[in-house]
Amino acid sequence: MIHNIAKSGRDNIIKSIAKKVLQKIPISDDDCFYLYEKAETGDLAVIANYIRESYNNKNVYYNRNIHIEPTNICIYKCKFCSYSRKQGEQGSWEFTIEQMADKVKNESKKGITEVHIVGGVHPDKDIYYYINLIDAIRKAVTEIHIKAFSAVEIDYMVTKSNIDLIEGLKLLKKAGLDSIPGGGAEIFNSEIRQKICPEKTNSERWLEIHKQAHKVGIKSNATMLYGHIESYAHRVEHMSMLRELQAETGGFMAFIPLKFKMLNNPLGNIGEVTLIEDLRNYAISRIYMSNFKHIKAYWPMLGKEYAQMALSFGADDFDGTIEDSTKIYSMAGAKDQKPNLSISELKTIVNSAGFVAVERNSTYDML
């Protein structure tokens, strides 16, 4: 119980953190750093669970979704990426708009409520191509939530089309874009970013794109890629920038810690962090990100069993059924090489961990 931690013989810092949480006071960056360095894992679980229950009771949210990865051809070569290829390179792919609209149409017959579209930054595609893609999907299926394009893709498409960011976001929204996924954030610290993804959209621009999206009425998610060459201080800095933007706009729906997966990429020699490190990171992000209602355990990256454990460390969202439609993590060595979860499997995973599986739409209304 968190009350026991607040009153116990534990050190003064952990007691004061527990008291802040009980009084709904956001913990400081120093507190957060202390949790990474010193807190006992059991205490982290208790405090994170107290917050997850006060926000979301025992609910674990999921949806019926598919991903579409239009292409893995990318102008960038991020050091952690196992997925991108150059034009004409073996293993590259590129779907036509018609193929993608057909896929959404076919999958919608099975009851999916969301399509998540994210891929490589293709050198030839401008914003009008992506508007046509959204338009074709909207025409194929009117009632579906389109969550699409990381800030990195949006940055490239508006720049290539030589249009202002806000104008571009308004055009995408008018075409039918409903929300923006959280990718491309990686780690905001410029020295680390310079080492792992030097060419792509910088932190200021990533944050600006999400800020302007929120202002024009497009909600979004935020991620943090951890477990590579960053330090705990970099993770705290990253989450602090997101918490600040959330305080300003309130436009983020979920925070998604993304664990670095090592297979088939140039950073792979550093290996992967342990499960305990993942669980501690979930709990600490739940405790620190006080103005984010949802923390997502993205099971295609973690694996189903580890994602299930993350539910006891603050996570309340299990993402969706996926239907074997994403390759980002399978190509980086994730356990589920064909990620797919049936509703009954999902319910068993959630309920056997002591939680209640709740189907949601893409804006977290219960269905």
Q: Where along the sequence are the contacts to ligand V47 (CB under 6 A)?
A: 80-82, 150, 181-184, 186, 221, 223, 225, 256, 258, 260-261, 265, 298, 328, 332
Tell me, what amino acid is at 187?
I
Nearer to ligand SF4, 13 or 75 (CB): 75
Task: Report the DSSP pairing between strands 317-320 and 59-63.
Answer: parallel
Return the range that interacts with ligand SF4 (CB under 6 A); candidates 76-84, 100-108, 254-262, 354-362.
Answer: 76-84
**Distance, CA of 164 to CA of 185 (rounded, Å):** 21
Nearer to ligand SF4, 150 or 290 (CB): 150
Site string for ligand SF4, 120-159 (x = CB under 6 A): xx------------------------------x-------
Q: Which of 103, 122, 147, 200 binds ligand SF4 (CB under 6 A)?
A: 200
**Least Å from the CB of residue 254 to ligand V47:** 6
**Distance, CA of 15 to CA of 38 (rounded, Å):** 13
Cβ-proximal residues to 365 (8 Å cutoff; 6+ apart), any chain: none
Q: Which of 10, 28, 76, 333 binds ligand SF4 (CB under 6 A)?
A: 76
Token pair, residue 174, equals 């008018």
Contact status: 176 vs ligand SF4 (CB under 6 A) = no
**Least Å from the CB of residue 223 to ligand V47:** 5
- Collapse the DSSP code of 230 into the 3-class scheme (helix H, G, I; strand E, B; otherwise coil) and give the result: coil
Contact status: 304 vs ligand SF4 (CB under 6 A) = no
Tell me, what amino acid is at 120?
G
Which helix (H) or strand (E) element contains residue 148?
strand 145-148
**Least Å from the CB of residue 81 to ligand V47:** 5
Q: Are 352 and 311 in contact (CB under 8 A)?
A: no
**For residues 225-253, b (16+ Cβ closer than 10 Å) or e, as one string?**
bbbbebebebbbbbbbbbbebbeeeebbb
Contact status: 205 vs ligand SF4 (CB under 6 A) = no
**Least Å from the CB of residue 168 to ligand SF4:** 18
Q: If contact means CB under 5 to 8 A according to the sort of partner, which of ligand V47, ligand SF4, none does residue 74 touch?
A: ligand SF4
Nearer to ligand SF4, 63 or 150 (CB): 150
Single out the residue of 181, 179, 182, 183 nearest to residue 169, CA to CA.
179
Task: Give the binding site for ligand SF4 (CB under 6 A).
Answer: 74, 76-78, 81, 83-84, 120-121, 152, 197, 200
